[in-house]
Each structure stands twice: as structure tokens, then as C-alpha cells.
Structure 1
Amino acid sequence: MTQAPPTAGRFDHLRGALREFPPLLWSFLYFFFLLTGYYVLRPVRDAMGASGDVQAVFPAGLVDWAAARGVALGDLTLQVLFTGTFLVMLLLQPAYGALVSRFPRRVFLPVLYLLFIACLLGFYILFGREVPGRGAVFFIWVAVFNLFAVSVFWSFMADIYSDTEARRLYGFIAAGGTIGGFTGPLITRVLVNQVGVANLLLVSAALLALAVVCILRLGRWARLRELERGREGNEQAMGGSMLAGLRLLRDQPLLRAMAVIMFFGVGVGTLLYNEQAAIARAFYPGDEARTAYYANIDLAINLVTILVQVFLTRTLLVRFGVAPVLLIPAVAILLGFAALTASPLPLLVAVVQVATRAGEFSLAKPARETIYTRVDREIRYKGKAVIDTAVYRGGDLFFVWTHKFLAAFGSSVVFGAGLLVAGAMTFGAWRLIREQAKLPASPP
């Protein structure tokens, strides 16, 4: 008797899940279109951040101000851009809070994405006319767009799926974003020399328009599921203060634990990414060799991520819950930074980078998002947004300047500090596991 290959059962489960949960396909497509649109923009953003033309990146007034004071603005491009991104995130928190407080979900979700599309059309004009300072504005906007759009996506998923369903399905949904991570850069690589940078913004806008179509289709399922759960009021505006997210972060132990993981998790990634750049420059002085090194890392990250999302995430979440799925990546990062402290070689850096980012995308992120299915909508949309945007970019800002200081003492010192940061992140994961165990099985 012929035995079916081990992967057959997994794909049979996927087909069964698609039949059992029709919104799963729309959720997958929503995340796919969203992240494909983002990854079309990301190479454009990174090119702006790495540009040596400060006139294209920064407004003329800032360039003149820095020159008058003897500040080499080109040497601080990323630090200035990260600082600007954090400040913009803080300023936008009240605007986002007002939007979700005053309008029901069926209004504010499409409106948010239509605003993003309108911004892309504006950037299309700026890039076509080569307006000075466009680089900084675009860099900051893409960072804001990515965090807000993805945060709202997962908040919406928590409206549609219960905790049990999320454990079964979030791995598959996250795979849609991973495939978008493959597709977006491929589109940019194929089209950039043919249509130019400005027209790529229109491609991204079209992909976001398709995401809006998915939102409209999923809205019906969200309303049906909430009626089944006896939560008919969720199509009304949730009300409350526009600064409620900050208040919730102050008052809710669960959100504070989430914030600790986010802040120090960003720290781990920022220290590793910036020191990796220094090590790559030292070991691979040629542009071609360095580009190949980075390309191989990105390929390995995406490959490992999608394999874990499809074949392992669901099994771990369904059988064991969020505890091991949060702790496995944290322990792997601790071990990786301990090894890098002793031997900061390019190959080992690449291995730790793959483990860090693949573990975050395939395990830790889906595990954290399932927890939001068990809290109320204000925490889900307002508190979560503060963590995913302001706390995230605050970590970026703090650790990009921290690395600037630590780098003077060598790679081993940077990775030794990273080991302490990874320990703090692991402590946050442990606290989150304890706090989520106190939550009810469904939202109050």
C-alpha cells in the first residue's frame, strides 16, 4: 500500500480550511496585496536612505542649516531619518485615535487605505518633478505606511477570527505576506528600468486598491461573525479619547509586556542590521560581492519563513499555545548573540540574521497577533497601534543611535550589548505569556 507523502496532510488541511473558512482566501489576498505594494516601495525607500545626494534627500533649509554649523548631514542620514520617523509617528497617534474613535470600521478602514493611495499619487508628482527633499519625506512616509497598514490589518483579522481559529489559520495568512515579500521586489527589479521610479508608485497604489477590495469583501464576514458572537455593536464607532491608546499602554499589563517585546525586539534587529553592514563592508569590499551576500540572506529568510508558516506554525499554536511559539525565537536569538559575541564572522552573522527575522515573521508575530483576538476593540485598534508604531519607531530611534556609540568599541561589544537586549526581550516574552493566560477565551 502506497503511503502519502508527509506534506500531503498539510495541504489537505489547507484545502479543508479554505472550504470551512471562506474569508481565509480574502485574508490571504489582502495581506499579499498589502505587502506586495509595500515591497515595491521598499527598494525605492532604501535607495533614498543610502543616497549620497543630500539635496535630493533633505529639504534645502535643513541642508543649509547643517552646513552653517559644520554638520556633515550625509554622515547622519539614517539617524536623522529615523528621528524624523519617530516624531511623525508621535504626531499621527492623535489623528489615528480620532479616526477610529469617531468612525465605524466600515468607514475608517477603507478611508485609511484610500489616504495612503492619495499620498502615493502625490509622491508620483513629486518624483516626476524631482522636488528637492523628496527623499526624506518619502522615506518617513513609507515607514509610517508600513507600520500603520500592517497593524490595522492584524486588528481587522482579530475581528474576523476567534482565538482557536487564529491559531489554525494565522500561519497561512502570514504566508500571504511572505509571498508578497518575494513578489514586490521582483516587480521592482523587472519594471524599474522600464517604467522608472515614479511609475512604480502607481503600481503600488494599484495593489493597495486591490487590498481595499479585499477589505470590503471581508467586512461582510466580520459582521456575520460578530453577530454570531453577540457583538452587534462592533459596526458602530468605538468612541473614547483620541489618546486612549497611550492611556491603555499605561494601564494594561498585557500591553506593557507587548511593548517590552516590541522595543527590545526592534533593538535586537537594529543592532544586528547595522553591525552586519559594517562587517559586510569589511569582508566584502566589492559592491557585487556585498550585494550577493545580502541577497542570499534575504532569500534564506523568506524561504525559511514560508516553510515554517505553512508546516509548523499552526501545529505549535494549536497543540501547545503561544508560550513555546514566543520563547523559541527568543532563545534562538539569545544563543545567536552569545555566539556572535565570541566570533562575529559574516557567515555566523548571516545565520543569526536568518534565525532572528524568520523566527519573528513565522512564529513570534503570529503568536502575538492571536492574543489580540481575546481583548476588546479599543485595545485591539488603539493600544495595539501605539505599540506597532510609536513604540516600534522609538526602539528604532534609540538603538540606531546606541549602535553609533557602541560601534566605536568593535563588533564584540555591539553583540555583547545585543545579548543583554535579547535577554530583556525574552523577559518581555515571559511576562506576556503570564498576562495572556489571564485573558478570557473570547473578547469581553
Structure 2
Amino acid sequence: MIKLISKILSVPANDFKILIISFAFLFSIFCSYSILKPLRDALATVGALHDIKWLFMATFIFSLVAVFAGMYLSARVKRGHYIVIIFLFFTLNIFLFYIFFINYGETLWGARVFFVWASVFNLFVISTGFLLLADRFDKETSKRLFGIVFAGASLGSIIGALFTSLLSKVLGLENLLLVSALLLLMSAFLSTLILKGAKSKDLVINPKNPFNGISLILKSKYLLLIAAFILLTTAANTFLYLEQARVVKLAFASREERVSVFANIDFIVQTLSLLIQIFFTGKVAKRLGISFLLVIVPLILAFGFIVIAFTHPIFYIFVVFMVIRRVGEYAFIKPGREMAFVVLSEEEKYRTKSFFDTALYRFGDMGSSWLESLLSHIGVKVALFGGAFLCFVWAYNAFMLSRFYKRK
């Protein structure tokens, strides 16, 4: 049976075990987060829309705290323990939010705190998971297997979004938090299986200087290109996210309706992503290279922003490009970006990736949210054309990053 499945997926039998465990690992992480995400996005609409840029600023500040805490921890515990500690910490956080919402319900400040926390959770936990995989796979196996491994993320997101959409009114949004916590606990267990037998699980990176990640970035053109890629990615995503908040708040009145809409969009996105990741991402990576994975989405989004500018605020046209953006991110951008990390040294991975995926990512959110707010005060179309310009710059940066990758 294993040989048959391996043949269908074009995966060597000796890679099958680590493939399945890694697939299940990403599945549990993303299923956990996809239960939290619709609730976070719905709570983002509590209060005025101009509050969102302040939430992004708070998220950036707490992301800095989280990333430096993570750097400090990674310099003092074994690598295998580091992953488990991070996951257990955020599991405890989910239980605390469950207790809060059960006792106090939806309050303005409760919604704001949850939004900030969920945004930090999103990047920090997922970044930690991808860091583990980047450490476990080499350059060649990542090209062959990352497409299928990342399909675990899409399938987890599909199940989580579908579960939330169908059962949010039956179970209550608060009780869904318990399901999310249990899935994250499963991720912690699977991380130990991925590292089982790996020499790196007992290593501690540079314990004398846990904060040297920034200096490593500044000394490397390749790492600076990755940093610029992340900033431009977040800028495009934030411009679309703020437009999403405007359109959804106009189209749907209640929190339950918004949660259901966000969950349904997630379901469509992840279903399409899953199919592309299983059957196309690996083949595209091998035949067309990382350049195609990184460049195609920015180019499509650049034209998408222009179309949205002329059709604003039609909800369904916006949804089409939002789906294209997110499918492209899961099926092409994320696998391509994680491949870019595979070729780094162990020290570069563990000293920079958490900074990239949390503090830098949220700095991009914060900066682009203020830029979008400034442009939207002039006019929504001005902001959307600004998003198009950023996407063209993003495409050029992606092309340069792929060239450096090929030299590694």
C-alpha cells in the first residue's frame, strides 16, 4: 500500500515516513490556526476600522517581544525541546482565552487583545513549524517533497475552516478554542517524531550570543533580499486585508455572518491550494524553478489591484482576487520562500527565521497599514493603485532572490 501511494505521488519509499509525519505536523498546526483565524478576523471588525492600524502596531511590538524571547530560549535549550516549549506555551494561552470568553464574552478590549495575540500566534507558531522542516529537509528533498508536505497545511486549513463554518453556531465560538488547543498539542508531539534520530535535535545554536540574528542579516545580501521579500509580501497582504475589512463590514452585519464568510473563503482557498500543492507545486519547482514560484503571484496581484480599483466596492470581484492571492501564497509563495531558507546554514536558520517571520513580518504589517491609511485618506483608489505598485516591486525582488538562491 505504501509503495502504491509512493508511486502515485512520485515519492521514493524511503522518504515516505518523514513525508507523512511532516504532512500530519503541518495539518495539525494549520487546522488549529484555521479555527482561530475566522474568529480573529471577525473580532477585527469590532470597533472602528481605523483602529486596525493600531492593532498592527501593537502586534509588531508584541512580535518583537516574542522573537527576542524565542532567540533567548533557543540559545539555552536543546533544539528538540525548544519546539515543544513554544507549542505548549501557546496551547496554554488558548486555554486562558477560552476561560476569558466564557466568563466575559465579547468585549472591545478582549477582541483587541485576542486579535494581537492571534496575529503573533499565526507567525510565531507557524514559523517555528517551518523552521523545523527547513532543518529536517535538504535542498533536493525540499524540491521533491515540499509541495506535498505543504498540502498538509492546506488540508488542515480546509478541515478547520469547514469545521468552524458548520459548527460555530452549534458549539459556540468559545468552545472551538478547545479544539484548537488539542490540535496544537498534537503538533508538539509530532515535532518530536520529526526530530527523532536527527543529530540536530540536541544542538544549541551559539549560546553566548542569542541576539546576533540581526547582524547576520545585515552582513548577507541573500538574507537582505529575503527580508525585502517578506516586507513586500506583507505590504501587499495588508493592503488587501484592510480592503477586506471595509468590504465585509459593509456587506455583513453580524459577527456570526462574518465568521461564516471568512471560514467559507478559507475553505475555498485551502481546497484549491491542496490540489495545486499535491499535483503541481513540486513539478513546477523542478521544471520552472523557484523563480516561477516567487514571481508569478506578485505579477498577478499587481493587475488584480488595478481591477479592484475600478470595481470597488463590489464584494465578489474582490473575493476572486483575494482567493487568487491566498491560493498563490499557499501553493507557490510559501513553498518557494521556505525553499529559500533550506540552503542557509543551521546558525542562519535558527538565528534569523523567527525574526523574519514574526518581528519583521509584523513590522511590514504595521508600516504598510499606516501607509495604506494615509493613501486611503486621499482616496481608496489611490491606496489600491499604491498596492499595485508595491506588487511590481515585489515581483522584481522575487526575481533577484531566485537568482541568488540558484548560486547557493
* 1:366 partner SS: helix
- The separation in 2 between residues aligned to 1:290 and 1:209, in whole angstroms, is 28
Instruction: Tell me the number of residue pairs that the alignment of Structure 1 and Structure 2 aligns.
Output: 400
Q: Does 1:20 align with 2:15?
A: yes
How many angstroms does 1:126 deviate by? 2.1
- The separation in 1 between residues aligned to 2:381 and 2:213, in whole angstroms, is 38
- The separation in 1 between residues aligned to 2:322 and 2:16, in whole angstroms, is 35
1:88 to 36, 39, 62: 62
- The separation in 2 between residues aligned to 1:192 and 1:289, in whole angstroms, is 10
Match of 2:178 in 1: 202
**Change beyond 3 A, Cα 1:405–1:45:** same
- Given that 1:275 and 1:407 are in contact with CA atoms closer than 8 Å, whether structure 2 keeps it comes out as no
- Given that 1:102 and 1:239 are in contact with CA atoms closer than 8 Å, whether structure 2 keeps it comes out as no
How many angstroms does 1:290 deviate by? 8.1
**Change beyond 3 A, Cα 1:239–1:21:** same
**Change beyond 3 A, Cα 1:234–1:109:** closer
1:362 to 310, 325, 331: 331
1:38 to 33, 42, 58: 33
**Change beyond 3 A, Cα 1:234–1:41:** closer
1:270 to 219, 238, 244: 238
Whichever residue aligns with residue 25 of structure 2, its letter is: Y
- Given that 2:147 and 2:277 are in contact with CA atoms closer than 8 Å, whether structure 1 keeps it comes out as yes
Match of 1:334 in 2: 302
Match of 2:364 in 1: 395
Q: Does 1:104 align with 2:78?
A: yes
How many angstroms does 1:135 deviate by? 2.6
Structure 1, unpaired ranges of 5+: 1-8, 53-73, 224-231, 440-444
- The separation in 2 between residues aligned to 1:435 and 1:151, in whole angstroms, is 22
Match of 1:70 in 2: none
1:104-156, Cα deviation, whole Å (9 max, x unpaired): 11211111111111222222332233186333222221111110111111111
* 1:239 partner SS: coil
How many angstroms does 1:343 deviate by? 4.6
**Change beyond 3 A, Cα 1:17–1:139:** farther
* 1:267 partner SS: helix
Match of 1:372 in 2: 341
- The separation in 2 between residues aligned to 1:93 and 1:277, in whole angstroms, is 28
**Change beyond 3 A, Cα 1:51–1:415:** closer
Percent identical residues: 28
Whichever residue aligns with residue 114 of structure 2, its letter is: F
**Change beyond 3 A, Cα 1:253–1:289:** same
1:51 to 46, 49, 62: 46
Further displaced range: 327-336 or 32-41: 327-336
* 1:21 partner SS: helix
- Given that 1:121 and 1:201 are in contact with CA atoms closer than 8 Å, whether structure 2 keeps it comes out as yes
Match of 2:407 in 1: 438
- The separation in 1 between residues aligned to 2:37 and 2:246, in whole angstroms, is 21
Could you state the TM-score of these two structures normalised by the residue count of structure 1? 0.82
Match of 2:125 in 1: 149
Whichever residue aligns with residue 238 of structure 1, its letter is: I
Q: Equivalences for 1:276-355 in 2 at 5 Å?
A: 276-279=244-247, 284=251, 297-344=265-312, 345-355=314-324
Question: Which protein, 1 or 2, shows the higher relative CO under an 8 Å CA cutoff with sep ≥ 6?
Answer: 2
- Given that 1:275 and 1:414 are in contact with CA atoms closer than 8 Å, whether structure 2 keeps it comes out as no
Whichever residue aligns with residue 425 of structure 1, its letter is: W
- The separation in 2 between residues aligned to 1:423 and 1:365, in whole angstroms, is 18
Whichever residue aligns with residue 195 of structure 2, its letter is: G
Match of 1:384 in 2: 353
How many angstroms does 1:369 deviate by? 0.6
Q: Does 1:237 align with 2:224?
A: no
* 1:390 partner SS: helix
- The separation in 1 between residues aligned to 2:318 and 2:113, in whole angstroms, is 32
* 2:407 partner SS: coil
- The separation in 1 between residues aligned to 2:21 and 2:98, in whole angstroms, is 29
Match of 2:226 in 1: 258
- Given that 1:270 and 1:399 are in contact with CA atoms closer than 8 Å, whether structure 2 keeps it comes out as yes
